[in-house]
Amino acid sequence: MKLNIEGLLVYFPYDYIYPEQYSYMLELKRTLDAKGHGVLEMPSGTGKTISLLSLIVAYQRAFPLEVTKLIYCSRTVPEIEKVVEELRKLMEFYSKETGETNNFLALALSSRKNLCIHPEILHANIVVYSYHYLLDPKIADLVSKELAKKSVVVFDEAHNIDNVCIDSMSVNITRRTLDRCQNNVDTLQNTIQKIKETDAAKLREEYRRLVDGLKEASVARETDIYLSNPVLPDEILQEAVPGTIRTAEHFVGFLRRFLEYLKSRLRVQHVVQESTPQFLKDIFDKVCIDRKPLRFCAERLQSLLRTLEIADIADFSAVTLISNFATLVSTYSQGFTIIIEPFEDRTPTIANPVLHFSCMDPSIAIKPVFQRFQSVVITSGTLSPLDIYPRILDFRPVTMASFTMTLARTCLCPLIVGRGNDQVALSSKFETREDFAVIRNYGNLLLEMSAVVPDGIVAFFTSYVYMENIVASWYEQGILENIQRNKLIFIETQDAAETSMALEKYQEACENGRGAILLSVARGKVSEGIDFVHHFGRAVIMFGVPYVYTQSRILKARLEYLRDQFQIRENDFLTFDAMRHAAQCVGRAIRGKTDYGLMIFADKRYARADKRGKLPRWIQEHITDGSLNLTVDETVQLSKHFLRQMAQPFRQEDQLGLSLLTLEQLQSEEMLKKITQIAHQT
Amino acid sequence: MASLSEEVLLVVKKVRQRKQDGTLYLMAERIAWGPEGKDRFTVSHLYADIRCQKISPDGKSKIQLQLVLHTGESTTFHFANESSALKDRDAAKELLQQLLPKFKKKANKELEEKNRMLQEDPVLFQLYKDLVVSQVISAEEFWANRLGGINNTDPGLCDNKQEVGISGAFLADIRPQTDGCNGLRYNLTADIIESIFRTYPAVKQKYSENVPHNLTEKEFWTRFFQSHYFHRDRINTGTQDIFSECAKQDDKGLKSMVSQGVKNPLVDLLSLEDKTLDEGYGLCTSTPSTSSSNRTVKDSSNSAIIKRFNHHSAMVLAAGSRKGDTQVDQASETSSTDGNSRDSDFFQPPVKKVRLQEAIEYEDLQRENGPKTVALNLKKADRYAHGPVPLQSQQYTTSQDIINSVNYIQHEMANYKPNLTQVLSSTSASSAIAALSPGGVLMQAGAQQAINQMVPPEVQGELKHLYAAAGELLRHFWACFPVNTPFLEEKVMKMKSNLERFQMTKLRPFQDKIQRQYLSTNLTGHLEEMLQTAYSKFHIWQTRRMMRKT
């Protein structure tokens, strides 16, 4: 159908539309009009992607000078492929409706092995790729730096975007890294020696260039051609590479010194935590390395590698890592912390020193993106609470909206199980973690559910260790055997290939009617990337609240930073983080309006307002006061009732006019009024 | 001896049959027994007639072997030689064990067929018990018009039984029971053994390797239950355990399953992530140490449980779909690997393409263009959800009856003229009201409980059997009419006497029984009625015949 979104003609490749899709496009258009950033939360399975694509493509066609390019970032390879498939559908619809072959060029970079040559990106109207191509400075520099300013950037499935940002800026250095780096440096020295004998002019030419400074880059940045690289701060562009590292030999010597220093730092007996200024002071005191040459380290190494015409850069990954670290540590006095651990906490007898240089501020990596591109849209099915993202990513959105799912029948059923039948409070909190009564009651819940839920059940645990322990004690108590009478059991393991097989078998068992249970882990790969549509997931059980492991020093440092810099209290952040993962897990089962599923939160803490309030609105609004502290028995009764109702035939006619609209219905005055209520502004 | 030309495979002396001493002979095609001092066999069974053999349990004072025939009869031999009774019996048992299966195939096909029908159809079996075993009618009569169907149908169709899958919990069904003196008893049935073999081919292989050469069957299973293999949380420790190899094979099987990869690209976690972070970058959030050295025993036992559960479920699933599917599977597999090998930017394996398209499809956003289906029009969704409710009243009125009576009442009401001079007296009016109020005499029918609440279930069951049997007999009886051949004449006479016998031997005792239990005696009223109808029909027919004859 052809839609009119506030005066913009949008081709939408379906005969019907969900009201929330219309509302979503409306908000999106306003964001583009304002040339600002947006945060939009819309439930999964309501056609978010196609709405996005339809609107932005229409916008591009209508205002080719305002928006030149769409950069669509998603997280997993299948997600990217799905986007491409939807785009293809949209394009087919365009050529069918308009009768002209479209001249849109879309490009997908789905995996590194078919990494594309970057000039093509410059010409494409739409680029679909993974987050890293934009957020990871090492790759962004190669792939994305020349993307036009007038692009619209979309981060889909963005609920974990802060972690991606942090990951891309953090570095870990082990003894092995240093050993490999040592080899790299030796190779560099030999190569330099050889070149000196054969082609000394080359090195001289490089020296001259370095004296002139990094002028090219500076000019490029000023004239706004490049996406700035957070690893390459503005200041160094104005300066020439300092004399101490200008010649190749000097630089190699400099690297050696730095390397020796790092080696000495790894020789620790106890945990050391320090800030970047402390680290810089120490390095100056010990080996007289100044801050300035350190900052140029990454750039200088690149130049050297280019000069030496080294083909396989992968061989030099260790020295590249070290030089990146050098530049980062000397550039940012804030937002990073250095933690040196002599051994793993679990194995204090085995020396395995690691230097963690961890980024605590996700806004550092994403800052250039917000600064450069006129509209950046962050969207996902679960972005609650919406206001936290602008805070931790440090940007000011023009639109923030959460959309509900209009439903002709309530196809999701969130239940909070707080008690066992014996009134024992259910919780995964640390104190009762080993409590047999809790574990038994959890087992009972799964057993009872396995008897009433058809086909597939997915259960998530808070961590892998917790799941292992519970599975072992369920085995001892004979609970698993009883569950096997109803369904087959498959369990996620730490091996991805093994888990893939278990997943496929799980689906097979759901498919052939035998029914199965998948035991899985929140924050694991399954919880983030696998959908359980229809009969593959009729119920999701979340055992416990998936708090992150709080004893890690890196996390503690990050929490402290959040408190000091953003005034976000530790508990608020931890709860937010736990709830977004819980929402991700339970959201796996509902992938559309024709789908249905139970969402069982098995922990009494979910009933508290501070937890419940952080769930997405589209889940929250279906939690009734009566389902806040259920026993296992009550849960089973409610589930039975729900499943029986949902199993009734559900036809298009049932939805029409309520949660599914024809063009005429959409245009009615009354409906437009209703639609304005779907978007919940914050 | 009767037939010396027969090859005698085994002779066992001092075998008693019906308290008579004698000698047991096992020959090429039959088993026979002759009393001592006589030169002929009083017992002789073809192997083909024997359904199975049973032996007395170890430890019983009498050492016996029982042969059960297809006809249901059985013959028991008592091995009486004091010194070697057990050995004799086992020798005979072993030999029979080898011989019987050979003849099983040759066994009377019809018998097999009857047997199968009885086994598969519990109702028929009950009927058989009620009518044939209690000798109301003979077996031939019973089968007379049932086998007709069998012989016509294609035996291939009958044999093609549906493959039954394996219960996921078959191991759980082998609940050990303590025998009171620090031991455990596991009960194994043929079904469970088959399940074990089908799920764990490695165990089957071990079984055929070791039993009976190295171990007896009992020893084999004892070791099985003692092994770490059965107890999934135990780690493989010793190598003397014959099942340690099974565990290794399972591991290997699991590995090969894993290495085969998955066909559905959307569940392939390996290719899920566009792995762009190089080594050394990224936040390392407590990476689980994979090196086995620093895992505690408990950890690895836990992960062993998880592995074995995955393996078990996969094997159970595979055992259920192994037949017939394998070829299709392989075909699709090769085609998909074929596709992968040409993997390039613009080529997507077809499986993947289809899956992706499925994943992005919003069926409700599209105009329905499939064949219009007729939706179930449910007036009362509750009735649909809760299943049928048993009919409460015993007397069933057709809707036509109801409409008629309503019309009638309407008509009556329309024409009703109060005749005030002839009203009831106040006392009789109030008694009429009392009688018509709930709990009153006339309202009892409404509150009457359903039969299934008044009568204990075993009586209900018995009643059902009686109905089935009576129905069967009556069917035979009524099938004789019109009686136009001498054969039918004879049959109808016989059927009538059968009915009478049924009434005497089956119905009467039942009636007595329910009388003894003070149950409403009307339970059998309808049965009686049916029988009476048959009798009166018979009498009419008989008097007519007499008249014609005279």
Pairing of strands A351-359, A336-343: antiparallel
Does some domain include residue A654? no
Task: Give SS3 for A542.
Answer: strand
Look at chain A and report how many structural domains it folds into: 3
d(CA A644, CA B61): 60
CB contact under 8 A, A85 and B356: yes
Statement to judge: residues A445 and A495 lie in one domain: yes
Measured between CA atoms, how close is B508 to chain A, in angstroms? 45
Task: Give SS3 for A21.
Answer: helix
Mutation for testing the A interface, residue in B362, B366, B383 having most A CBs under 10 Å = B362
Statement to judge: residues A544 and A427 lie in one domain: yes
Statement to judge: residues A383 and A439 lie in one domain: no
CB contact under 8 A, B169 and A321: no
Chain A residues touching residue B279 (CB < 8 angstroms):
317
Alpha helices in B377-455 (DSSP H): 381-386, 399-414, 426-436, 444-447, 451-454
Q: Nearest to residue A661, comparing CAs of A4, A16, A15?
A: A16
Residue A112, chain B, CB below 8 Å: the answer is: yes
Longest dimension (CA), chain B: 116
CB contact under 8 A, A472 and B305: yes
Q: What angle do CA B202, B208, B214 make, to 5 degrees?
A: 115
Statement to judge: residues A437 and A327 lie in one domain: no
d(CA A58, CA A2): 11
Domain spans, chain B: 8-108, 177-260, 453-549
Residue A484, chain B, CB below 8 Å: the answer is: yes
In this complex, how many residue pairs, one in chain A and one in chain B, have their CB atoms less than 8 Å apart?
Answer: 253
Calculate the CA dihedral of residues A293, A299, A302, A304 and round it to 10 degrees: -40
CB contact under 8 A, B281 and A170: yes
Chain A residues touching residue B268 (CB < 8 angstroms):
500
d(CA A269, CA A271): 7
Task: Give SS3 for B290.
Answer: coil
Does some domain include residue A447? yes
How far is residue A668 from each of residues A80, A662, A672, B275, B414, measured CA to CA in Å? Answer: 36, 10, 6, 48, 54
Statement to judge: residues A227 and A311 lie in one domain: yes
Identity of the residue in A77, A344, A498 whose CB atom sits nearest the CB atom of B258? A498
Task: Give SS3 for B494.
Answer: helix
Chain A residues touching residue B176 (CB < 8 angstroms):
none
First and final CA of chain B: distance in angstroms?
60
Taking CA–CA distances from B306, the nearest residue in chain A reads A491
Mutation for testing the A interface, residue in B306, B328, B340, B380 having most A CBs under 10 Å = B306
The number of residues making up chain B comes to 550
CB contact under 8 A, A475 and B363: no
Residue A117, chain B, CB below 8 Å: the answer is: no
Which residues in chain A land under pLDDT 50? none
Q: Look at residue A233 in the predicted model and tell me its pLDDT.
A: 61
Q: Look at residue B2 in the predicted model and tell me its pLDDT.
A: 46
Local confidence pLDDT in tens for the 550 residues of chain B: 444 467 788 888 888 888 888 888 888 888 888 888 777 888 888 887 787 788 887 777 788 888 888 777 888 888 888 788 888 888 888 888 887 777 765 556 667 777 777 887 777 787 787 777 777 677 777 776 665 544 444 444 444 566 777 887 887 777 777 766 777 777 777 788 888 888 888 888 888 888 777 888 888 888 888 776 676 666 655 556 677 777 788 888 888 888 888 888 788 887 777 665 667 777 654 444 434 344 566 677 888 888 888 888 988 888 877 554 443 343 343 333 333 433 344 455 677 788 888 888 887 888 766 666 666 666 666 666 666 655 555 556 677 888 899 999 999 888 888 777 777 788 888 888 888 777 666 666 544 556 666 778 888 888 888 888 888 888 888 888 888 888 888 888 888 888 888 888 888 888 888 888 776 657 788 888 899 999 999 999 888 888 887 7
Does some domain include residue A368? no
Statement to judge: residues A631 and A665 lie in one domain: no
Statement to judge: residues A9 and A56 lie in one domain: yes
Q: Look at residue A577 in the predicted model and tell me its pLDDT.
A: 94
Model confidence pLDDT, tens digit, residues A107-164: 877 655 555 555 666 677 888 888 888 888 777 776 777 778 889 999 999 999 999 8
Measured between CA atoms, how close is B326 to chain A, in angstroms? 14
The 3-class SS string of A333-374 reads CCCEEEEEEEECCCCCCCEEEEEEEEECCHHHHHHHHHHHCC
CB contact under 8 A, A649 and B167: no
Model confidence pLDDT, tens digit, residues A79-92: 888 999 999 999 99
Residue A643, chain B, CB below 8 Å: the answer is: no
Taking CA–CA distances from A548, the nearest residue in chain B reads B285
d(CA A485, CA B199): 16
Range of the domain at A584: 412-649
CB contact residues (below 8 A), chain A span 31-50, against chain B: 47, 49-50
CB contact under 8 A, B272 and A655: no
CB contact under 8 A, B375 and A317: no
Statement to judge: residues A387 and A505 lie in one domain: no
The values of phi and psi at residue A128, to 5°, are: -120, 120
Domain holding A471: CATH number?
A: 3.40.50.300
Residue A459, chain B, CB below 8 Å: the answer is: no
Does some domain include residue A229? yes
Task: Give SS3 for B20.
Answer: strand
Count the Cβ atoms, other than its own, within 10 Å of residue B204: 16
Q: Among the three residues A330, A361, A392, which one is the final residue of a domain in this structure?
A: A361
Statement to judge: residues A329 and A440 lie in one domain: no
Does some domain include residue A369? no
pTM, to two decimals: 0.73
Statement to judge: residues A222 and A301 lie in one domain: yes
CB contact residues (below 8 A), chain A span 168-187, against chain B: 168, 170-174, 177
Statement to judge: residues A7 and A131 lie in one domain: yes
Statement to judge: residues A293 and A440 lie in one domain: no
Q: Would you tell me which CATH number, out of the four given (2.30.29.30, 2.102.10.10, 2.30.30.90, 3.60.10.10), belongs to the domain B8-108?
A: 2.30.29.30
ipTM score: 0.87
Calculate the CA dihedral of residues B435, B436, B439, B443 and round it to 10 degrees: 110
